[in-house]
A and B are shown apart, each in its own frame.
Chain A
Amino acid sequence: MKKKLNPFYKSNVKLMAIALCIAFLGFSCSDDDENPVPVDEEEVITTMNVTLTASGVASVSLQSQDLDGDGPNAPDVTVSGNLVANTIYSGTIVLLNETETPAEDVTVEVAEEDDEHQFFFSITGALTSVAYSDQDGDGNPVGIDFELTTGDAGNGTLEITLRHEPKKPNDGTLGDAGGETDIAESFPIVVE
């Protein structure tokens, strides 16, 4: 009870102060100047090129290009020309990752894992039908190759959606297929 405690107190405060100083010194030293490395983005698809060809008429290319991915810029959608009425076009889809040089052909990966992927087509207006021209190992459609039939002259849209891990087989609608959307783009088409 008679212990003089005050000196203790003082020395402890001093100790504490020293400890804090050391700690802050430590903090300020631990700052490293190394810069982080940029992320090598995977599974990136920047571009979808669709080529529509038919014998005797000019081929038409459709492109959706989004070089900044989930950045603020919307994809650039271009259609090279008009389709000819009442014609059956063969379509082929090529997917690219243009953030890499040379651009990586992502279609190869989709083709390799075709049981986990499927393109879905939806048409309006002057387009009359779409049919799959390819199959995966289980006999289910994939859609890298397809056939598009035009009707009489007019306007229409072709919407192409790529899903990964859809339910296969499905009834051909997005709702039934489920899965994750890798690409969804709608192209305005003029048939003349």
Chain B
Amino acid sequence: MRLFLILVLTSLYGNFSISQECDAILLGQVVDFHDNTALENATISVTGKDLQTTSDQDGKFNFTTLCDGVIELEISHPDCKSQFVTITIDGDTYQKISLEHHLEELDEVKVVGGTQKTTNSSQEETLGLKQLEQYSGNSLGDALKTITGVSSLNTGANIVKPVIQGLNGSRVLILNNNVRMQDMEWGEEHAPNVDINANQKISVIKGAAALEYGGDAIGGVIVLDPLPIARSDSLFGKTQMNLFSNGRGGNITSTLTKSFDSGLYMKLQGSLKRLGDLETPDYLLSNTGIQENSISVNLGKRDFLQGWEAYYSFFDSDIGILRASHIGNVDDLITAINSQQPNIINDFSYNIIRPNQEVTHHLAKLNYYRRFKGTGKLDLQYDFQSNRRFEFDIRVGDDAEKPSLDLQLTTHTLSSTLQIDSQNDLEIKLGVLGRYQSNFADPATGVRRLIPDYDKYDVGGFAIGEYKLGTRWNVDMGVRYDFTRLDAKKFYRTTRWEERNYDQDFSDLVIDDLGTQLLVNPVFDYHNVSAMAGFRYEFNTQELLRFNYAFAQRAPNPSELFSDGLHHSAARIELGDLRIKSEGSSKVSASYERNALNWGFTIAPYFNAIKDFILLEPNGVEFTIRGAFPVWAYRQTNVQLVGVDLSVYNNWTQKIRSDHRFSWVRGTDTSSDLPLINIPAANMSNSLSYSNEALHGLTISLESQYVFEQQRFPPNIMVFSPQAAQEVVLDINTPPPAYHLLALDIATAFSLKNKHDLTVGLRATNLLNTQYRDYLNRLRYFVDDLGRNISLRLIYNY
């Protein structure tokens, strides 16, 4: 807009100029269209004349001895398309030229690459392509654990939920290609339904500061994005195969990308994974196999002024649940905790039997953007997700093939963001969102619904601003509002309804009385506000300080509100509470970073005070004709999480590098002054790597991971054991001892058709076959964790 005005004005002046003197100077600057950064090395030539120059590092150039009048400049840049600009010279003239800068434009999806971060002031880390390739055959959660401060809540080795600075589940958002995953993340044994191979850039924002993705990310946000596709006529592909000794299987994943000069592109990606029963150092883990298939297609056109993308992905997994973890009642649990070996060890098999879970996830997205000069960029997106979850239990007779849980979760989201980045020092992002979600629990299972049928409506809006104050300060702040309405229809047993005193508080919700059960229709509204403010200060080019304060509120999820009954796969009675309200977190985080060639470090402390924190913990037993079951109930309390993430690296020589990471978090229920349940133990990892580009790109690295024993845990509970006919301690909270694991990774590259197009890697995890159990593995009561696993990976680029 501004340029337009200048051009109009200058052309007006031009008409009035009479003299034809040829000593005018044109002073120009070439800048990037969308953020005004200077573009160096642009070639500028005057058409029709033998005048040519290049822009300096400030993007500036000049021509002397120009005649007054209209001239045409041709500007080209290695990363850009050539552009012609007509200008009028009237004496000494200044001209700013905005260029469409492809490479930056390609980063446009806001992928966090290199040092570029999604947020300005919050703690954030990114996984590189190399790391992702190492974890290609594992799950997303496994790969994320290499980030300081990220751990996982496991149900065996295949169900891995990321935990960010002590928080997990609904508090951690997963953005898959700019779509917020809606895959029943509320369950402790529900893993994210994403293929780690579908996206090549994965970053973790620790905390709620990334307001554009949602206001309720009290734990943090995991952003999965594809690598940008170059705008050129090309066709390339990549295939990776991994073979594992533990599980005796592997996976294969392929990506094929076709792009055109016009900006049109198409990407096809697919993965297959098959693993059989896994092994500990001493025994087989029967029924721990996994089968996973996924496919994704991107089709789009990315132009400077506008672009669109259509994306579809399908993810399907069938995961076996350790046979020995399927227990009947509290006595079985006591027996399991006290015995060193699982009670069921079958021969090795690839077959997945009961219990198991079969989950499919469809995701479709349509995105359109348009850029407005002088304003910024407008983005419109619609996405659709369908998540179907079957959980199969060990059942007999006619019901043996019936699932015990059958949920269908469908989500539609419409969102729009406007990014105003025309000013050099100020960037503003505004956005709105509307979402509709419905859950259907199929009654044909013959098992009472754990999660009821519901409809959920979300409307939200946010505004974020980032202001550059001088060369060293960057200040950002944002605010977001979300409205959520949950409209559920649920059957309660009359006895449960009364036991929870709902008959006194919620009698108006009852819409039907069936004698032994009641149909109720809770409609709950939540108004949540989130806000953040922070700054980044650069001491110099190597050292910087980030500081961020974020306040976030999260509405309770359906599981926290409505869980009611025996969770067969966990052999526990889970009870939600209709009285649960939104939780609110106030988090202060800072990080002091040094990034230099020779060495660097990050010190990142944080303090998170959460009011009305919703947690699930064992609090007793209930008796049924099948025996006694531990009761896990949701409750709300005030908690504090305080922790620090540390990392240091040092390049000892050009070939030898070491990395050291440590993270520690302490969680306290401040209402009772007791430790919080399921807080990851302190852990430390150190790695030493050798790399030699000249020697077939050889890299060798030895990694050590030490996980401390969690000393702080809530007290165990006393339960009545029918078998022992007395009250006994249910040792359900005691964490296992500390452990130390070693891993070795060797990779080298070969050149078949192109340089280093084939990479061969060998990796061994739990090298010493150490026997251990992890506090955050829900199967720790029953079995040891995985033993040694030797894997071979082949990566071919074509």
Which residues of A are interface residues toward B (Cβ below 8 A)?
1-2, 4-6, 8-9, 12-13, 16, 19-20, 23-24, 26-27, 30-31, 35-43, 45-48, 64-75, 99, 109, 113, 116, 122, 124, 157, 159, 163-165, 175, 178, 180-186
Contacts and interface: CB of A to CB of B under 8 A. Distances in A.
B434 A24 contact: yes
Given A64-B625, A74-B623, A184-B329, A38 B378 contact: no
Contact of B629 (A16, A41, A48, A70): A70
Contacts of B517: 38
B4 A4 contact: yes
Given A68-B496, A165-B396, A46 B434 contact: no
B252 interface: no
Most chain B CB within 10 A, of A67, A124, A157, A184, is at A184
Nearest to B328: A181
A94 B4 CA distance: 91
B717 interface: no
B755 interface: no
Contact of B7 (A2, A64, A184, A185): A2
Contacts of B491: 36, 38-39
Given A38-B491, A66-B624, A184-B329, A43 B436 contact: no
Contacts of B624: 66, 69-70, 74-75
Contact of A181 (B329, B399, B499): B329
A96 B336 CA distance: 30
Interface string B619-635: 00011111101000000
B443 A36 contact: yes
B455 interface: yes
Given A20-B432, A36-B443, A70-B565, A113 B396 contact: yes
A41 B343 contact: no
Given A30-B436, A109-B397, A157 B725 contact: yes
B685 to A, nearest CB: 39
Contacts of B432: 20
B688 interface: no
B622 A74 contact: yes
Interface of B: 1, 3-4, 7, 85, 326, 328-329, 331-332, 335, 343-344, 370, 372-375, 378, 380, 394-399, 402, 412, 414, 416, 432, 434, 436, 438, 441, 443, 445-449, 452-453, 455, 457, 459, 487, 489, 491, 493-496, 499, 511-512, 514, 516-517, 519, 565-566, 573, 622-627, 629, 722-723, 725
Contact of B372 (A6, A184, A186): A6
Contacts of A20: 414, 416, 432, 434
B396 A68 contact: no
Contacts of B455: 31
Given A38-B491, A43-B396, A74-B622, 19 more contacts: A1-B4, A8-B370, A8-B372, A9-B378, A16-B416, A19-B380, A20-B416, A30-B436, A30-B438, A35-B511, A36-B449, A42-B447, A64-B625, A66-B625, A67-B516, A69-B493, A113-B396, A159-B722, A182-B626
B446 A180 contact: no
Contacts of A157: 725
Contact of A16 (B343, B372, B378, B499): B378
30 contacts: A2-B7, A5-B373, A5-B374, A8-B372, A12-B378, A16-B416, A20-B414, A20-B416, A23-B412, A23-B414, A27-B434, A35-B489, A36-B449, A36-B453, A36-B519, A38-B443, A38-B491, A41-B446, A41-B447, A68-B494, A69-B493, A72-B499, A73-B495, A113-B396, A116-B396, A124-B725, A159-B722, A180-B326, A180-B328, A183-B626
A30 B440 CA distance: 14
A21 to B, nearest CB: 10
A99 B517 CA distance: 11
Contacts of B487: 31
B396 A72 contact: no
A184 B333 CA distance: 14
B441 A36 contact: yes
> What 9 pairs across the A-B complex have the smallest Cβ distances?
A181-B328, A42-B446, A184-B627, A74-B623, A72-B499, A70-B566, A66-B625, A71-B493, A27-B436
A83 to B, nearest CB: 19
A35 B494 CA distance: 18
Contact of B399 (A37, A43, A159): A43
A186 B722 contact: yes
B572 to A, nearest CB: 10
Contacts of A13: 378
A150 to B, nearest CB: 19
Contacts of B445: 39
A22 to B, nearest CB: 9
A18 to B, nearest CB: 12
A183 B625 contact: yes
Contacts of B344: 178
